[in-house]
Amino acid sequence: MKHFMFIDESGTFNNIDDRYYVISGIVSNDVDGLNKLQKDIEIEIRNGQNTNKEMKASHISDSHKAKFVQALLANKYHVYSVIMDKNVLKEKNGIRLSEFSAYNYIFEKLVSLVLEDNLIKKSDDLCLKVDYRSVIKEFENDLASLLILDFYYQVHRIDVEYLDSKISRPIQLADYVSNTIFGYFNNENEAYTFVPLFDNIKKCLVPENLLYD
């Protein structure tokens, strides 16, 4: 069986104003269902007017972002997030974690969360569909190779495909998840309180000292 995980992030490693970086994934074989969920809520938010312009999480209200996230969870979609404390990138005891290593690490953690959930069998395939803007261009091939090596014995096949989020409604949904969590950890915004099922997201916090202990 082939499973899809749609991935997007919020934050950047080089923005010193925000402490946390968030990456989120939605795992499902029901791609049509994800497309319909995103489209229906978007039309509702736009007061019945459909448009080809992407509805970015950073351009809508906390309550609207929360509406998408709540609908995902209410419909039993599997949602995962990794939150990284960017202080992990600061030099400590003469050691500094590179952005390349940090980026690979959070992707490994995200895939690990899914595999730990026993959703995917060893005989299954996992295809990661990632917003191409979430990936530093020169890291693309390295990331795919790393994940194949890391999870060689846990899945039959793992692929990474890079897409523009404006043509992928499921990736847009991952954007709403990441941005909601990002806003809470960095600004303690209200979107968190609008999602009663928020605890159903499988989350992992990477603390600033984790990689140095």
- pLDDT over 70 (residue 208): no
Contact yes or no for 27/119 (Cβ under 8 A):
yes
Rounded to two decimals, the pTM is 0.88
- Sheet with strand 78-85: strands edge to edge: 157-163, 125-131, 2-10, 20-28, 78-85, 202-206
Helix 62-74 vs helix 31-45: crossing angle, to nearest 10: 150
Q: In sequence order, which residues have a C-beta less than 8 Å from that of residue 13 and are 6 or more positions away?
A: 21, 86, 89, 99, 102, 103
List pLDDT tens digits, range 122-162. Answer: 898 898 999 876 555 555 567 767 776 778 678 888 888 88
List pLDDT tens digits, range 52-88. Answer: 788 999 889 888 998 999 999 999 999 999 999 888 7
Per domain, the residue ranges of the chain are 2-120+165-212
Please report the sign of the dihedral spanned by the C-alpha atoms of residue 203, residue 133, residue 158, residue 211.
Answer: negative
- Among 40-49, 71-80, 200-209, which stretch is predicted with the lowest mean pLDDT? 200-209
